[in-house]
Structure 1
Amino acid sequence: MTFLKQTLIFLFVLTATGLHTHAQVLDHSWKDVVLKMDDSWYGTTEAQDIAEQVLLYQKDNGGWEKNIQMQNPLSDSEKQKLQASKSDSNRCTIDNGATYLEMVYLSKVYKHTKNEIYKTGFLKGLNYLLEAQYPNGGWPQYYPLRKGYYTHITYNDGGMINVMSILQDINTGSKTLGIPVDEITLEKTQTAFNKGISCILKTQYKQNGILTGWCAQHDETTFLPAKARAYELPSLGGVDTAQIVLLLMNIEHPSDEVKRAVEAAATWLEKTKITGLKEERYMTADGEKEKRYIEDPNAEPLWARFMDLENNTPFFCDRDGIKKASIMDISRERRVGYAWYNTQPNKVLKVYPKWKASLKPTPKDSYKVTVAQDGSGDYTNIQDAINNSKSFPYDRITIFIKKGTYIEKVHVYEWNPKITLIGEDKNETIISFNDYFKSINLGRNSTFHTSTVLIEGHYTQLKNLTIQNTAGPVGQAIALSINANACLIENCTILGNQDTVYLTGENHKQWFKNCFITGTTDFIFGNATALFTDCEINSKSNSYITAASTEKHTAFGFVFKNCTLTATKEANQVYLGRPWRYYAKTVFINCNLGKHIKAEGWHNWNKKEAETSSFYAEYNNTGAGANTKNRVPWSHQLSKKEAKTYTTKNILGINAETEWLQ
């Protein structure tokens, strides 16, 4: 055989094989290429070639456009156009599987090849999803935001649930995706997932006061069902509900709220299933595609895509936006070209009994419980432990919290007094959230809704915990808020920026012992009486430490005894305090004041009258910032006799060191 002939045969075989393999891929939709190929295929050269195209389609902001068959070969000119359009991100979306499918595909190819460019593309997509999330936890259909229904929180076609499934996979150790992330990114994905769950719980629709299912779209502000296209009216949806419930049932240690949501939705799906009806597709005499629904007692149950919000009645809609009672009352184009019924809820009802049986029973009226994220305790999150605590108990309830970062908003209610939250390790038992003024968006008083931990139960104790608001320097963002009397905060680290600790309630008294508190502006504020002993108060910027708003007839405001005032290198001009309200009272006794404390010491907040109505004083302080020579003339230096009145008993009451600690 001649060399030329051998070469021609080789090229023919190579070309034929390549065309055959390529044809196999092209026979699939992009979704099938991502989800249904044999696992080993994702390590092939062909799969990597497609991955290169996926990266080419990715926009600079990390997202992708929808309805693109990524596996189709591209010409050189098409590649050039894509490269030139990377900065145009206006059509990036999570609709129809966009961004989700591309990220899953890159992860599968990376899993086999370990090529860092695929990991980089995946992480870039992840950053896009994190950036696109609303502060309330939902995701819009398009990001950057586009006007119209695209801004709604979108469950339609699995939009938000696809995103949540990626986050869930990362949070549980990338069991499917195979792309590990660093600790900072992991914390972001955990926060995003928890906020997403919170959004899901808030959007579950109540019908006559009873939880049911979810809708395709919910308003991003009110959480109410919302309209999309003309034929997509506000309604309850079987398929949207099913996808959400399957996600919730996949949470390893579900909270009580999640359990209630699943149970209510499963009940609603059982109630709304349609039996004895079968879809039949056929060709009309004129060669047009058509479908109808016929009676069949053996048919698998169906659920309507759209159900009336008041009575669950299925309805159908044409492009005129008018509800119809029968699918035959709408045009053939809409009847055939849209999925009006779905069987996916059958999967929910099939796995629900097993999920229900797997739930660990919660303890009843226990006075000592344990919270552990790994499921080894009585609860996996702190709020569930509080919610199941006995109201107005005679004895103290102790909730022991094992090491871990608990990304949740914690609320100790007024009917939960005498609760102790005690961490296993101050540095490794962390309660964290990231709400801030603008993210709350509830008007001028949004600050007071931002707290990571909110205490309203009297005699609450917090010990060996780190409590943080991780929103960053974005304005008011409370880490710890206390509106209760006789609360003890001991050996805790409280981290934030502006407004870190809010202490409030007329006649309320609180005690901080051996704590570390850091922030930027007014990071200890409010009208309660609070004693700080042996604490480190750390300033992160040139601003004000305290902003008391003490009531006129209250004897003591904020009192710092034996505390150390420190600062980061960025802070070198810090005031001890300023009056949020006219009768503010703040005193520092036997404290070490760092060199960052301004010579003037105090600021009047541009309220001249506050100079006479407020009371700012110091006694026997040390350190570079303790020189009182240049203090503002309206501040006070206590006499030895006056200083003696600042005892724990006088400030907090005679029972502070006995009853408070019981």
Structure 2
Amino acid sequence: MGLYKTKSKHYINDTYYQNTIISIFILSLITFSSVVSSSFSVDLSTAILLRVDQSGKGDFNKIQEAIDSIPPNLENSQLYFIWVKPGVYREKVVIPADKPYITLSGTKASNTVLIWSDGEDILASPTLTVFASDFICRFLTIQNKFGTAGQAVALRVAADNAAFYGCVLTSYQDTLLDDNGNHYFKNCYIEGATDFICGSASSLYENCHLHSLSPNNGSITAQMRTSATEKSGFTFLGCKVTGTGSSFLGRPWGAYSRVVFAYSFFSDVVAPQGWNEWGDSSKNNTVYYGEYKCYGPGADRRERVKWSKQLSDEEAAVFLSKDFIGGKDWLRPAPSHFKNAPKSNSKE
């Protein structure tokens, strides 16, 4: 691990795109079952649609080109929906901090892939980096193909609020740098070997599949929390842990590291001890590692380290809803209407 500290509306009349957007919207109604706060200043019902298509039939050929076309949006005045058509997009992508309220959506993760190969530096390596608040990513595979030689981040999220639905994240070490902010992951597949979910964010992972590639005693999480009053932590709710070899549920990247697994399935890839102190036994008194009503061959707690917890109903309650990430204040539904971008936003 390393230290990281419009003008009039032009509604879409293309039948093909119209039908696809309708399909995406229907999926969204299922996916975004969140309560929306009245504090939103942006119109959540209508989004400017930008289409990315490698064949040249969209508004842009590359994902970053679409993002670069969006003007700074710090007044939260406009929603943008970037629809990425199926294909393998070989590029590094950054969502800058001055462009909030972007949705980046593939058609489905199995045929819409963002891929790069970079490693060794945890901050320089990510295939996708998100700095902008109120970002949503859906139905996209994000890969870092650097290999096993060092840190190789597929996704870095350093945004106040961000949500990921039906995404696939793959690498080996530090696959997901869940850096800081409040984040929500649902129905995602995350694969790696060493600390492949790491960072100091407050995040809720719901119905996600975590797959370990570690041959021997890897670690799924490395959560950083530096004080008992810091609200950060990772909650895994209704998740599935599988893999090859053996792996710990977590080890502390920070003395007050906090990770909870609830209602989750553990295959026998989970080491009997469950958790690892990362060579510093002094952290045993300050970390918060809990399990609640988990099941499967790896959920047997008879050989668990004594400093992990089997949570009571009362102890677990705070980790079992979107309140853990303040979700009622920022999770939003999908837009119900789409309009074309102004001419200056799209390619000539």
Q: Provide TM-score, normalisation by structure 1.
A: 0.42
Q: Secondary structure at the match of 1:368?
A: strand
1:602 aligns with 2:285: no
CA deviations 1:234-270 (Å, max 9, x no partner) are: xxxxxxxxxxxxxxxxxxxxxxxxxxxxxxxxxxxxx
Could you tell me how far apart the structure 1 residues matched to 2:108 and 2:288 are?
A: 38
Deviation at 1:575, TM superposition (A): 0.5
1:640/1:562 CA distance change after superposition, 3 Å = same
Q: 2:131 pairs with 451, 456, 459, which one?
A: 456
Cα distance between partner residues in 2 of 1:380 and 1:532: 32
**Mapped partners of 1:475, 1:459: distance in 2:** 31
When residues 545 and 482 of structure 1 are mapped into structure 2, their CA distance, relative to the original with a 3 A threshold, is same
1:579 aligns with 2:262: no
The residue identity in structure 2 corresponding to 1:394 is: S
- Conservation of the 8 A alpha-carbon contact between 1:575 and 1:602: yes
Distance (Å, rounded) in 2 between the aligned partners of 1:593 and 1:625: 5
| Aligned residue type for 1:532 | Y
- Counterpart pick for 1:539 among 209, 212, 233: 212
Deviation at 1:629, TM superposition (A): 1.2
Say whether the 8 Å CA contact 2:260–2:319 is kept in structure 1. no
Question: In the alignment, does 2:307 pair up with 1:626?
Answer: no
Are 1:404 and 2:87 an aligned pair? yes
Name the counterpart of 2:148: 473
Query: Partners in 1 of 2:247 and 2:331 — Cα distance?
Result: 36
The match for 1:416 is 99
- What do the CA deviations read for 1:365-398 (whole angstroms, capped 9, x no partner)? x821100000000000000100111211412210
Distance 1:418 1:551, change over 3 A: farther
Q: Is the 8 A contact 1:489 1:512 kept in 2?
A: yes
| 1:398 alignment partner, SS class | strand
Counterparts of 1:419-438 in structure 2, within 5 Å, are 419-437=102-120
Please tell me whether residue 554 in structure 1 is matched to residue 230 in structure 2: yes
- Separation (CA, whole Å) in 1 of partners of 2:237 and 2:327: 18
Relative to its length, the structure with more strand (as a share) is 2
- Give the C-alpha shift of residue 554 in structure 1: 2.2
**Counterpart for residue 566 of structure 1:** 242
Q: Do the aligned residues in 2 keep the contact of 1:556 with 1:651 (CA within 8 Å)?
A: no
**Matched position secondary structure for 1:475:** coil
Deviation string for 1:537-560 (max 9, x for gaps)?
000113110000024222340100
CA distance in 1, matches of 2:89, 2:327: 36
Whole-Å separation in 1 of the counterparts to 2:55 and 2:77:
31
Say which structure, 1 or 2, has more relative contact order (CA 8 Å, 6+ apart).
2
Residue 35 of structure 1: aligned partner? none
Q: Distance in 1 between matches of 2:147 and 2:82?
A: 29
**Residue number in structure 1 paired with 2:321:** 648
Q: Which shows bigger deviation, 643-652 or 622-631?
A: 643-652
Tell me how far apart the structure 1 counterparts of residues 204 and 111 of structure 2 sit (CA, whole Å).
26
Q: Secondary structure at the match of 1:625?
A: helix
Shift of 1:658: 4.6
Tell me the SS of whatever aligns to 1:426: coil
2:61 to 380, 398, 404: 380
C-alpha distance 492-521 of structure 1, shift in aligned 2 (>3 A): same
Residue 184 of structure 2 corresponds to residue 511 of structure 1: yes
Distance 1:465 1:548 in 2: 24
Identity, % of aligned pairs?
33
Structure 2 match to 1:332 = none
Aligned to 1:527: 200
What pairs up with 1:235-314 in 2 under 5 angstroms?
none
Mark the CA change 1:660 to 1:585 in structure 2 (over 3 Å): closer, same or farther.
farther
Distance 1:481 1:654, change over 3 A: closer
Give the Å deviation of 1:406. 0.4
Bigger CA radius of gyration: 1
Change (3 A) 1:661 1:605: farther
State the shift of 1:415 in Å: 0.6
Residue aligning to 1:94 = none
Distance 2:317 2:257 in 1: 21
Q: Distance in 1 between matches of 2:209 and 2:155?
A: 16
Residue identity matched to 2:78: D
Structure 1 CA distance, aligned partners of 2:321 and 2:280? 31
SS of 1:621's equivalent in the other structure is: coil
Query: Unpaired runs of 5+ in structure 1?
Result: 1-365, 438-445
* Counterparts of 2:173 and 2:129, CA distance in 1: 17
Give the Cα separation in 1 of the matches to 2:307 and 2:331. Answer: 37
What is the Cα-based RMSD across aligned positions, in Å?
1.5
Cα offset for 1:524?
A: 0.3
**Residues of 2 paired with 1:575 and 1:608: CA distance?**
16
Aligned to 2:71: 390
Assess if the C-alpha contact under 8 Å between 1:368 and 1:398 holds in 2.
yes
Of 366, 370, 373 in structure 1, the residue corresponding to residue 51 of structure 2 is: 370
Residue type at the aligned position of 1:593: F
1:385–1:650 Cα change, 3 Å: same
In the alignment, structure 1 residue 617 sits paired with structure 2 residue 290:
yes
The answer on whether the counterparts of 1:409 and 1:451 sit within 8 Å (CA) in structure 2 is yes
Answer 1 or 2: which has greater helix percent: 1
CA distance in 2, matches of 1:402, 1:582: 44
What amino acid is aligned across from residue 585 of structure 1 in structure 2?
R
Structure 2: unaligned runs, 5 residues or longer: 1-46, 336-348
* Residue 80 (structure 1) aligns with: none
| 3-state DSSP of counterpart to 1:461 | strand
The one-letter code sitting in structure 2 at the alignment partner of 1:618 is E
Counterpart of 1:176? Answer: none
Distance 1:504 1:631 in 2: 28
- Read off the aligned partner of 1:415 and give its amino acid letter: D
**What do the CA deviations read for 1:91-111 (whole angstroms, capped 9, x no partner)?**
xxxxxxxxxxxxxxxxxxxxx
In structure 1, the residue matched to 2:344 is none
Q: Which amino acid aligns with 2:85?
A: K
* Distance of aligned partners of 1:550 and 1:401 in 2 relative to their CA distance in 1, 3 Å threshold: same
Q: Counterparts of 2:300 and 2:325 in 1: how far apart (Å)? A: 29
TM-score of the pair, normalised by structure 2: 0.79
Specify the alignment match of 2:263 in structure 1.
Answer: 590
Structure 1 residue runs of 4+, over 6 Å off? none
Q: Distance in 1 between matches of 2:111 and 2:224?
A: 34
In the TM superposition, 1:65-80 aligns within 5 A as none
Match for 1:432: what amino acid? Answer: I
Matched AA of 2:210: I
Task: Check the 8 A contact 1:390/1:416 in 2, yes or no.
Answer: yes
Change (3 A) 1:483 1:556: closer
> What amino acid maps onto 1:388 in structure 2?
S
Matched AA of 1:557: G
- Partner of 2:195, secondary structure, is coil
Q: Is the contact between residue 134 and residue 330 of structure 2 (CA under 8 Å) also seen in structure 1?
A: no
**Cα distance per residue 1:422-476 (max 9 Å; x no partner):** 0022111000000011xxxxxxxx2211000000000110000000001111211
Give 1:656 deviation, angstroms. Answer: 5.2
